[in-house]
Chains A and B, each alone.
Chain A
Amino acid sequence: MDKISLTVNSKKYQLETDPETPLLYVLRNQLELNGPKYGCGYEQCGACMVLLDDKAYPSCRIPVSVVQNRDIITLKGLGNRDKLHPVQEAFLEEQAAQCGYCLNGMLISTISLLKENPDPDRAAIDEGLKRVLCRCGTHSRFIKAVEKAAAKSRLR
């Protein structure tokens, strides 16, 4: 057990944990955040995406001890039901979900993508969302939601 300090959704936390623990388990179990989901534990499916210094990154393998000086953002840090982030708003308006389990990865990847490229074409969207798997087949709505989010973000 080591003392770990984390910055998550702009809040500082002091925790005691096995330093090897993947960030995902700490976020879900100790900080009780529901955004990042367990999907594979191999960085293959993207269900566990978080923003690490504004870049989407899977949290299921990376040890919590190595992200102590990073800025970690989850869905909860983006907005809430009273004040949504434009990306959250776009996915909601497009009703871009079936079971919704992959949405965390899709939303976090979209935010990361739009930071780098505010006006992505289809090829850029494919690149930005390529790490996240969806089994329900909601992808065509995700593509529309990303385009809508891009338009909303440019307006703000």
Chain B
Amino acid sequence: MKITRRTFIKNTGYVAIGFSMIPETVLSYESCGFEEVIMQDPRVKDWFQVLEDGRILIFTGKMELGQGIRIAIAQVAAEELNMDIDQVEVHLAETKTTPNEGYTAGSRSITQSAMNVRKAAATAADILLETASEKYNLQKQSLILQKGKILNKENGKAYSFPEVLQGKQIEAAIPSEIKLKRKSEYQLVGTPVPRKDILKMVTGEPVYVQDLRFPDMIHARVIRPPAYNSVLEEFKPEKAEKLSTIINIIRKNNFIGILAGDEYQAQKAKEILERDCKWSVPASLPQTDAWKDYIKEISSKSENVESTGNLNFRDNSVKAFYSKPYIMHGSIGPSCAVGFFDGDKLQIWTHSQGVYPLQGAVADLLNINEGKMQVTGVPGSGCYGHNAADDVSAEVAILALENPGKHIRLQWSRSDEHGWEPYGSAMLMELEGNLDKNGKINNWKYELWSDTHSTRPGGRKENLLPTSYYEGTRTGPSQGYLGGAYRNAQPYYTIQNKKIDAHFFEGPLRVSALRSLGAYANIFAIESFMDELAEKAGKDPLEFRLDHLTDQRAIDILNKLKEMTSNLHLAGNEGLGFAFSRYKNTDSYFGAAVKVSREKDQRIRIKNMWGVIDSGEVINPDGLKNQTEGGMIQSASWTMMEEVKFDKTHVTSLDWQDYPIFRIANIPHMEVQIIDRPYEPPLGAGEAAQGATSAAIVNAIYAATGQRVRDLPVKKTFSV
């Protein structure tokens, strides 16, 4: 059976109900430095619609990235309406259909979308009761919501939502003051409701954008030049054109795309073309043994992040210089998108984190009216930030316009993804600190050097990879949001005198948002330095941190970690390290403890990792635990072994051999505990574990070996 869009949609669990018009939205992006999406005049039906069969459909502007947002949003909606979880469907980000909630980024899916859904559902609950009471002339107090019905408590008579609404949707505005369900009455929120998509994954049902199939779908590939700024000098498609099923080889300036009926022939044609075409090869990437000096030299802009008190380093200061290399997102499934142009309208299926900003950027690139476009979010392989999802979507849009009438599926290769995604920036962090006579931190000076941490398209074409090749120009991406570089650059500890400065450079490699942005490197440096100062003070690293904390929730994290590791026996070749952070200094509290050993062959092995997280109100504790464990393991892989390498021409880390990541044998024993605070607001959690895990690892290595790793990855100093 051919899987058409209709059956795919049925299989992936959403129900097509046509488009609903949504109000104009005003949107700000991560790249502008704002955290919130402001919607003018939000209406219930933007997030909430009743289906014919009495179930409800919730629209979220966020994407499922493996973080489990679908189930969390379903829980929140079902809770407000006293429905069963199976009575709620969730429709992921799609232009013209779901509200514009910006990017699925910055750990804001729960704090933003789920809270919008909560308000919409609570408003809907009230209006459903009100409408039923008027329609059937009943006391509102005698009506309750139960399992998707409105129940008259007095006679047990039940009315369905479609019956009460007479086929209409709830148009009403969501008021600013809404009566929400009492948290003490929660049945679903705060419980580990299983995700619905895992059943599809384990049985091989279609789940991902990679699994979309349309009748007569064309397979596409795009040619990568040898370097970022290469110019096509000789285009030689003749040999590739001779392969069977080749439909067209499209060249626009320095952009070359292949269309074929058969995917393997398209892949073969890509390999042939990449060999046959001649490009200029500008040797533009720096080759230096003095990388840190080079970074300082090319830094051109500075910003003071904080100045408190007066620095005074007359005596006994401790100095340390840390570094972090370029790291890649490294999605297991390379980016993929499907495009279709019917001669009038352009449709794109994408795993992008932001369907609306992508739509704007593609419209800008191809001069299409956004009214003639629809961009549909379909899950892809985990992205962990801004990977090539937007790029592949823009490329497929170019190809779809050139070849109307057929669905085109563009699949990036492994070397495309490894070599061309926007990496997490390399960073340097220099610290100086000293202590007062009581062994407390007196002065703290922190300088960091970084490229930008967001070059998301944000509605404009410049940051899409294909733009400069397609237009034959050299316009590079804009530097975007610089604030990400100093995310978590301010320590969460009480310190009298502080000065924190950020310096910016435009580095050799393409960069953008990678999970936690600059927080990973900043927390790595701060929390390593806390251990260095603790040693200077002659104090236990955990006690030293507690001496500088006033926030009880932070203190609770460290005490919990102490308790979890209290009965630990350490052998002579083992060490234990701790670290703490509060993500963005406003989101989740997280602490990590790590036990490492130095093996007989001198290798460093991580044996245990413990994590404690406080994200305020927890919607789904199993999801939070899963993501926190995952964040810790990913961070451990970054910290121990990851570094993007390049020669004078281009990136040379083009596969998993050249860019190894953790395999299962590297995985330590894991234990994550949650401090649940159901009466506090939920706090962003998805990126909370990245920084502290890395510092806990190097602190443990110091405890085990007496050697401090200040330059990541650990692999530079020890075999891992």
Contact = CB atoms under 8 A, between A and B. Distances in A.
Interface of A: 1, 17-18, 20-22, 25, 28-29, 32-35, 37-42, 44-45, 47, 74-76, 78-81, 84, 88, 91-92, 95-104, 107, 125-126, 129-130, 132-143
Interface of B: 1-3, 65-68, 192, 194-195, 197-199, 201-208, 210-211, 213, 219, 244, 262-265, 267, 330-334, 379-382, 384, 411, 413-414, 622, 626-627, 629-634, 637, 655-657, 661-665, 667, 669-670
B66 A75 contact: no
Given A39-B414, A75-B203, A143-B667, A137 B332 contact: no
B260 to A, nearest CB: 11
Contact of A101 (B2, B263, B333, B626): B333
A84 B199 CA distance: 9
A97 B657 contact: no
B382 A101 contact: yes
A66 B630 CA distance: 38
B262 A76 contact: no
Nearest to A41: B414
A152 B697 CA distance: 36
Given A32-B213, A137-B629, A39 B333 contact: yes
A99 B661 CA distance: 17
Given A40-B414, A98-B66, A132 B664 contact: yes
Contacts of A81: 199, 203, 205
B205 A103 contact: no
B382 A136 contact: yes
A99 B66 contact: yes
A40 B204 CA distance: 19
B648 to A, nearest CB: 25
Of listed A20, A25, A143, residue having the most chain B CB within 10 A = A25
Given A34-B211, A39-B414, A100 B244 contact: no
A84 B664 contact: no
Contacts of B414: 39-42, 44
Nearest 8 A/B pairs, CB to CB: A137-B633, A99-B66, A75-B204, A99-B382, A35-B204, A137-B630, A98-B66, A101-B381
Contacts of A74: 204
A61 to B, nearest CB: 11
A87 B703 CA distance: 40
Contacts of B662: 137, 139
Nearest to A140: B670
A98 B630 contact: yes
Nearest to A9: B204
Contacts of A143: 664, 667
Given A97-B195, A99-B381, A101-B381, A18 B632 contact: no
A39 B3 contact: no
Contacts of B265: 18
Contacts of A80: 203
Nearest to A21: B264
Contacts of B411: 38
A9 to B, nearest CB: 10
Given A40-B655, A98-B67, A140 B629 contact: yes
Contacts of A140: 629, 633, 667, 669-670
Given A38-B411, A39-B414, A92 B198 contact: yes
Contacts of B206: 34
B204 A102 contact: no
B264 A95 contact: no
Contacts of A133: 332, 656, 661, 663
Given A18-B262, A95-B622, A98-B627, 20 more contacts: A37-B333, A75-B203, A76-B204, A81-B199, A81-B203, A84-B203, A98-B68, A98-B382, A98-B626, A99-B380, A100-B201, A103-B201, A129-B664, A132-B664, A136-B66, A136-B630, A137-B629, A138-B629, A140-B629, A140-B667
A45 to B, nearest CB: 6
A81 B333 CA distance: 24
A122 B627 CA distance: 23
Of listed A42, A98, A137, residue having the most chain B CB within 10 A = A137
16 contacts: A18-B265, A37-B208, A44-B655, A74-B204, A91-B198, A92-B199, A98-B630, A99-B332, A100-B66, A125-B664, A133-B663, A135-B332, A135-B381, A135-B661, A137-B634, A140-B633
Given A99-B66, A142-B664, A107 B656 contact: no
B342 to A, nearest CB: 23
B10 to A, nearest CB: 14
B196 to A, nearest CB: 11
Contact of A138 (B384, B413, B630): B630
A42 B656 contact: yes
B8 to A, nearest CB: 10
Given A18-B265, A130-B665, A97 B198 contact: yes
Contacts of A1: 244
A79 B630 CA distance: 28
Contact of B656 (A34, A44, A99): A44
Nearest to A60: B414
Contacts of A78: 203
A77 B259 CA distance: 32
A27 to B, nearest CB: 10
Contact of B204 (A33, A45, A92, A142): A33
Contacts of A101: 208, 331-333, 380-382
Of listed A20, A22, A98, A135, residue having the most chain B CB within 10 A = A135
A40 B198 CA distance: 23
Of listed B65, B219, B414, residue having the most chain A CB within 10 A = B414
A22 B264 contact: yes
B264 A139 contact: no
B633 A95 contact: no
Of listed B203, B263, B413, residue having the most chain A CB within 10 A = B203
Contacts of B210: 37-38
B634 A136 contact: yes
A100 B1 CA distance: 24
Contacts of B656: 40, 42, 44-45, 133
B66 A45 contact: no
A121 to B, nearest CB: 13
A104 B204 contact: yes
Contact of B207 (A45, A98, A100, A135): A100
Nearest to B623: A95
Contacts of A37: 208, 210, 332-333
A95 B333 contact: no
A35 B211 CA distance: 9
Contacts of B380: 99, 101
B201 A97 contact: yes
Contacts of B1: 32
B663 A130 contact: yes
A25 B333 contact: no
A76 to B, nearest CB: 4
Nearest to B243: A18
Given A44-B655, A101-B208, A103-B202, A139 B633 contact: yes
A20 B267 CA distance: 12
A39 B332 contact: yes
B682 to A, nearest CB: 19
Of listed B2, B68, B664, residue having the most chain A CB within 10 A = B664
Given A80-B203, A130-B664, A136-B66, A44 B657 contact: yes
Contacts of B211: 34
